[in-house]
Structure 1
Amino acid sequence: MPNPHDFHSPQPSYTRDELLRSSEGGYFGPGNAQLPAPPMLMMDRISEISLDGGEFGKGHIVGELDIVPGHWFFDCHFRGDAMMPASLGLDAMWQMIGYWLGWSGSPGKGRAIGVGEVAFTGSVTPQTRRVRYEVAMRQVRRGKLVLGFADGRVLADGTCVYTAKDMRVGLTKAVD
């Protein structure tokens, strides 16, 4: 499997256009990590990414999503009480862990494996202006399977609305 760094030089941040290129595949090389395409791409930018930052000093990634009242999920979740499904915030953090693993040089396709604990203390509504996802890597195991372990939180206009502990993402060889 090709090394992601043969195809991509790590940067400290990424624009929406760069994230969209990642969703097309091949950004980190054939068979390696990629983000989903819209509408499932849950961020407009990665504003920070590092190998040694974050709460545990083992790397971190920060993504942001600009909220507009016309986002697709507000039309169906829930009529008369619109809010972003909390599962999309959790998925955004899994997306970011997989991206971080590819960015840091690990080969393989990202797959969400699980989460230990999730708490919801608020919501993202059409009145929200910006969502910020903050993920701190706890541990990375690089063997036959690459496994990333992280904690994260979702903030709506600076207020924490979800937390997740022990999120797990694995990188596997692409299945034909």
Structure 2
Amino acid sequence: MTETVHSTREIEALIPHRWPVLLVDRIIEYDADARRIVGIKGVTATEWFFQGHFPGLPVMPGVLQVEALAQTMAVYVAKQPGFGDRIGLFAGIDDCRFKRVVVPGDTLRLDITMEKLGKRFGRARAVASVDGEVACEATLSFIIPAEGVLR
């Protein structure tokens, strides 16, 4: 079993997402020098989204896989000096591909490698996988609004 670097409670201290939208259970790797973070989402049969996607054939929606990747990226950004409690917002999703269904019982590994991180903008390569098989990959971009814009 992989060591937990940040628990769910610690993730909640870093980003504003909460149940049922919090889609990262724990962080298992964090390397500021390599600009990399890895999160884990245990996909259970009782997930709220399986009620309608799809009855009798539960498949994790691709958009929620992307959201889980984005939340993992948000944890990385929140840990950087100078970002404080500012919230990042999606600016773009490029080159997104879904290559495998994610179903109850899967453990979704959320790998983020930051390509660019400025004071107001960032971009990362994001890969979600199950047992070493890519489920979703994309390049995610975000903006950090100026202080006070969201409040």
Q: TM-score, structure 2 length as denominator?
A: 0.87
Paired residues of 1:46 and 1:62 also in contact (CA < 8 A): yes
- The yes-or-no answer on 1:85 pairing with 2:61 is yes
Q: How does 1:162-173 map to 2 (within 5 A)?
A: 162-165=136-139, 167-172=140-145, 173=147
- Give deviations 1:101-154, integer Å, cap 9, x for gaps: 1201232211111111100111111242x1110010001122xxx211100111
Paired residues of 1:138 and 1:151 also in contact (CA < 8 A): yes
- Give deviations 1:3-40, integer Å, cap 9, x for gaps: xxxxxxxxx920112123x2xxxx5xxxxxx2310111
In structure 2, the residue matched to 1:31 is none
- Give deviations 1:32-86, integer Å, cap 9, x for gaps: xx23101111011011112122xxxxx0110001122111111110112211111
Q: How does 1:1-176 map to 2 (within 5 A)?
A: 13-20=5-12, 22=13, 27=14, 34-53=15-34, 59-107=35-83, 108-128=86-106, 130-142=107-119, 146-165=120-139, 167-172=140-145, 173-174=147-148, 175-176=150-151
The verdict on how the C-alpha distance between 1:125 and 1:77 changes in structure 2, with shifts beyond 3 A counting, is same
Paired residues of 2:11 and 2:75 also in contact (CA < 8 A): no
Amino acid at match of 2:87: K
Unaligned runs of 5+ in 1: 1-11, 28-33, 54-58
Aligned positions, number: 144
Q: Percent identity?
A: 24
SS in 2 for 1:93: helix
SS in 1 for 2:118: strand
Amino acid at match of 2:133: T
Q: Which whole-Å CA distance do the structure 1 matches of 2:23 and 2:116 have between them?
A: 24
The verdict on how the C-alpha distance between 1:117 and 1:123 changes in structure 2, with shifts beyond 3 A counting, is same
